Structure 1
């Protein structure tokens, strides 16, 4: 498989924040923004792999600035790092007050996707390579984030076993 540059997966979506998208504070629902992030990141992952993908993890999303009704949001994503069947996607969300032109970075996040075959099994993907300084920085720091995800996933599995599917959970 031939390696591909990060830029090949670049995906950008701009959306107007309308009243049904907002909460009682007049700001964008966090879950609505998370849906935009997952959508754009998945498109970037498919563009890289040219295969169906599933979301494997979403790192923490810190809401750095409120996104107000009437603003636009621009969600940008690209693949920063690949493993055998998985890929890390970096996402940045920028809000813009359309009347003043003021822009703010509202969120950054990393999502991990796994490419799947026709049977829904993980399948190999091309490697990605960085070209710009920012891409190189993200690519170089990706193995550390991957290790943190591995540890977090292990803890999540332990938590799932502890709490199981019954309620109330065993209190002893």
Structure 2
């Protein structure tokens, strides 16, 4: 793994905000699971791309837990954080948090891990920098 040059910032977290509209929901008025997964994958893609500064693809999603329903009208914050880096892989933990815009109440609704792979211009796995030492 290559080291991150001194002074170069590589974000370890990405946050996306979405509103849950009727076309995102099922017949019960709650967010489709597939929509939640798409938003989670997008956040994982963004943080991994910004960290690796190269093309990345999703290799795996694992242990996605849907804990609480997400309702029409909720604000959804999707938080993706790089937690581990291999030679070409990045493990990204993603949380989906809802916020009631009127009360401000926030709830962790969904959590999962995505494995993203960095690719070179020929589509082969390529090395990514090691995580910075804290």
Q: TM-score, normalised by structure 2?
A: 0.91
Q: Secondary structure at the match of 2:26?
A: coil
Root-mean-square deviation (Å): 1.8
Q: Which structure is larger by alpha-carbon Rg, 1 or 2?
A: 1
Q: Cα 1:106–1:53, aligned 2, differ >3 Å: closer, same or farther?
A: same
Shift of 1:78: 1.7
Q: What is the rounded CA distance, in whole Å, between the counterparts of 1:6 and 1:61 in structure 2?
A: 29
Count of residues paired in the alignment: 131
TM-score by length of 1: 0.72
5+ residue gaps, structure 2, are none
Following the alignment from structure 2 to structure 1, what is the Cα–Cα distance between the partners of residues 38 and 119?
21
Q: What is the CA deviation profile of residues 117-141 of structure 1, one whole-angstrom value per residue up to 9, with x for unaligned ones?
A: 111000111011364xxxxxxxxxx
Q: Is the 8 A contact 2:10 2:50 kept in 1?
A: no
Structure with greater proportional strand content:
2
Quick one: higher RCO (CA 8 Å, sep 6+), 1 or 2? 2
Instruction: Give the aligned partner of residue 36 of structure 1.
Output: 39
Change (3 A) 1:39 1:119: same
Tell me the residue number matched to 1:125: 128
- In structure 1, the gaps of 5 or more residues are 132-172
| Residue 49 to residue 23, structure 1, CA distance change in 2 (3 Å) | same
